[in-house]
Amino acid sequence: MQEIEDGGTENKSGSSQEMAWKEGGRPQKAGTIVAIECAAVVLVGVLIWFYRLPDLSPLAEHGFAVLALTIGLWITEVVPAAVAGLLFMVLLPLLKVAPPNVAFAGMTAPVLWLILAGLLLGVAVDKTGLARRLAYWAIIRFRADTPFRVVVSFVFTGAVLTFVLPTVVARVAVLIPVTMGLVEAFHAGTTDRISKFLMTTMFLASQSIMMMVMTSIEPNLVAVGLLARQGIHVSWGHFFLMWSIPALFLNTLIAFVIPFVLYAPVRQTRLDLRRLEEEQRRLGPVSADEKKMAVCFAVVLLLWATSAWTNLNPAWVGVLAVTALFVPGVRVLSMGDVRQRLNLMHVFFLGAVLSIAAVMKHVALTDSAVRFLDTHFAIPGQGYTAALGLTALVQVLHLGLSDVTSFVASVMPIFLKYAAIHHLSQVWVAWVVLAASLGFLLPYQAAPILIIYSLGYLEMRDVLKIGALITLATLVLVPFLAVVWWSWAIPLWL
């Protein structure tokens, strides 16, 4: 164990966790390309600022220009996402587009503090080794010595980790060392079919029930926060109930089907579990810190699940739990751990993402977008055709913006306003948009798959195949779930 500042310790997964949470394994671009992309983004922003667009007021034009500049920086990644987000919030009051209370609205939103609390709880779980212990336990417990049992064990492990690690990237970072151990136990090379099978299964299993747990991914919380701005408050428990069947049906089905569709010949392969059992023994007995984290998470999840009845805001429950982890006598976390394992600049990215809806409303950009949507794309009620068209439109739009969180924050306010004008269920529209945003085609659209791709286990054609199958499954299944499940589940629980 390597000591770090303020008494913190770094476990064996620290380096991969830090890479995943801070950088995402993204390759560096050449300086010339960065300069060209930066100049192009700035030029687009300037042109929008000065060019008179039809049906937009000068204030809406200027708001659109700043937003386009920010989204361009997020797409090209010429600067870190957090820096682009901070620039967005600073430029708005500096250029007299929006007052500070609107520009920085996301920084004071409870959902931001809930996300931050979840990330810090994830740091604590990773530091104590509890996440890795749970992963080894699940795989060995299910006797994952055949590919099918591997899928079952990974889906179960992903489901367990969904409750204790707040992002897909964090879950993948924990599971990568375990999966590498499985690859070695199968005596496979990096690009062998069994290796691709294992890494694909791990990636898909890490998302197995993520849509069911409100705090498992940031887009869920962004969607809930946007609904709260419309006066619709969705509790942790009600979110769980509304997404239970869709998550089990959609994500779990994908996790079981896609690996075998792409890598069917590995079915007869068998694994010697003794290597993993040896790795599990090296973890030693359950430590006091692991026990503390297990108790902490049990209490937090109980309070989150019952927030509809206790009226305790999940954000403040999470912040209180994180605070307790620093208290002497408990002291699972230190400031050194936070600096070592978490990029706190990410808060500025989240703050900007959560401010987009308030800014669009202030400059009346949402109204203009709704009018454009009304003219060129009508949502005919809440039937299968409407859900299919909305899903397809969201997937096409998603190709232009890599990060799912910023994508949901940018487009969902428009669809929510459209739903309100046309007397559609805003929650129904929000859930369809959220589910449709799961699809991807290229690595830059999904950070976890980008990490695996960067490690050399998947080639570009593998990523394209996986993304295409997920996108196709989403296009087929989301409209079906919208009609069969959400049409009656939403009125029942809200």
Domain spans in the chain, listed from the N-terminal domain onward = 110-341
| Helix or strand run (H / E) with residue 2 | strand 2-3
| Helix or strand run (H / E) with residue 114 | helix 110-128
pLDDT at 445: 66
Q: Which residues have C-beta within 8 Å of that of residue 171, sequence separation ≥ 6?
A: 158, 161, 162, 165, 206, 448
Name the DSSP letter for residue 20.
I
Q: Which range, 152-156, 169-173, 262-266, 308-312, is most confident? A: 152-156
The pLDDT confidence band at residue 260, using thresholds 50, 70 and 90, is: confident
Count how many Cα atoms sit within 13 Å of the Cα of residue 251 in the half-sphere of its side chain.
29
Mean pLDDT of 109-133: 80
d(CA 441, CA 6): 43
Mean pLDDT of 209-213: 82
Mind listing the pLDDT tens digit for each residue in 331-346? 888 888 888 877 778 7
- 251 compared with 239, residue with greater pLDDT: 239
Nearest partner of 129 among 168, 180, 165, 183, judged by Cα:
165
pLDDT at 3: 34
The pLDDT confidence band at residue 370, using thresholds 50, 70 and 90, is: confident
Nearest partner of 303 among 318, 289, 292, 291, judged by Cα:
318
Q: pLDDT at residue 206 above 80? A: yes
The pLDDT confidence band at residue 54, using thresholds 50, 70 and 90, is: confident
Q: pLDDT at residue 233 above 80? A: yes
- Most distant CA atoms of the chain, gap in Å: 69
Q: pLDDT at residue 458 above 80? A: yes
